[in-house]
Amino acid sequence: MIILHKLNGDEFVLNVNHIEVIEETPDTVITLGNEKKYIVKEKKEKVINLAIEYLNNIHSYEKCKK
């Protein structure tokens, strides 16, 4: 889960496992697997980096549990 911001500044949490496509048009548009779209303030690279960081943390946690 990553924290993002809608264009009006409202914060929300997005499950990165559902992300299908991230585009800049020039606004950043995130399309989920169910075709629902979110337009966010963050740039594409920021969303990608947040998703990678989240997934790395999950995998690191799973390794520590073993």
**Contact call for residues 7 and 27 (beta carbons, < 8 A):** yes
Residue type, 54: Y
Give residue 10's pLDDT. Answer: 98
Rounded mean pLDDT, 38-54: 98
Domain boundaries, the chain: 2-65
Q: Is the dihedral of CA 36, 34, 30, 50 positive or negative?
A: positive
pLDDT digits (tens, 9 = 90+) for 8-29: 999 999 999 999 999 999 999 9
Give residue 65's pLDDT. Answer: 60
pTM over 0.85: yes
* Residue written as token pair 């799973």: 62
pLDDT digits (tens, 9 = 90+) for 49-65: 999 999 999 877 556 66
Give residue 59's pLDDT. Answer: 72
